[in-house]
Chain A
């Protein structure tokens, strides 16, 4: 059992060394998905949410989780490719590259053949991929997820004709803990 865990951790670490941008992308998405799963479970188990609202609240949480995890993966992948393509097109280059090599043909040549700059430029291309992956994740968290959340909340409200009052997640959250803090202890 322990040797298996050791193996998995070593394998994951080696994966990170080979593909650091993908590692950031997948761990970011996994943390996001896990967070929503825990939140949905907490709502499902909460005694402070009335039973008839539970289904709605939990499904909203799961829907949001799936959407935001998907958008994180999507934007991170797209931005990674975009960042790397900028290096291929010689739009972003390291300062140490001599002036006469700062054009797409030379860059392609360096990346595909073995020259004195090949190792360094390949590393640079990977680094730009990592940086743009992080930009993609940041946009997914700060811009795309809040917008999607609103659209999704409106959409789920339309489908839920019996209950037109939208309960924002935060409000439920607070109520759980407010009730928890103020409720008299049951004997």
Chain B
């Protein structure tokens, strides 16, 4: 008995192949669910701390995901513009026909999204995520001090 895959799912997977934003969504959403859940069911600490750490890891993943999605969105757009303005052209002959240009443009978008992501890690994630996290946690749990 085979699992049959419909056209909608096939198109969905094609979306992951052509868009860095969709790829990131597929990876970020499970993390957004998993990390707070793991923290919430951590039996070795009391309930108060559990709620706090679940909220904290949730917010941390959320900030990281939003930042990552933003970087990929900008990168994808940038890459597609670079192809449109003919700054980047295909090298191999097999991609030089007009039919493949759209796919090539999306592919360059994905590549530049990767590069922009690296830059965003350096200038956004490392210096600011923990700062943003601390600010958010202080607002949400004003009475709870860091141990």
CB contact list, A15-62 vs B, under 8 A: 16-17, 20, 23-24, 27-28, 30-31, 34-35, 38-39, 42
Distance, CA A124 to CA B7, complexed state (A): 10
Give CA–CA (A134, B110) in the complex, Å. 15
B109, closest chain A residue (CB) = A13
B2: which A residues are within 8 A, CB to CB? 90-93, 102
B82-98 with Cβ < 8 A to chain A:
82, 87-92, 95
- Whether B89 and A10, one on each chain, are in contact in the complex, defined by CB atoms closer than 8 angstroms, is yes
Q: Is the CB of A181 within 8 A of B108?
A: no
Size category, A interface: 35 or more
Whether the pair B3, A91 counts as a contact (CB closer than 8 A) is yes
**Contact at A14–B126, with CB atoms within 8 Å?**
no
Hey, which bits of chain B sit against chain A, CB under 8 A? 2-7, 10, 13-14, 16-17, 23, 26-27, 30-31, 34-35, 38, 79, 82, 87-92, 95, 100, 103-104, 107-108, 110-112, 114-115, 117-118, 121-122, 125-127, 130-131, 133-134, 146
A: which residues have CB within 8 A of B?
A: 6-7, 9-14, 16-17, 20, 23-24, 27-28, 30-31, 34-35, 38-39, 42, 90-96, 102, 124, 127-128, 130-131, 134, 137-138, 141-143, 146, 173-174, 176-178, 180-181
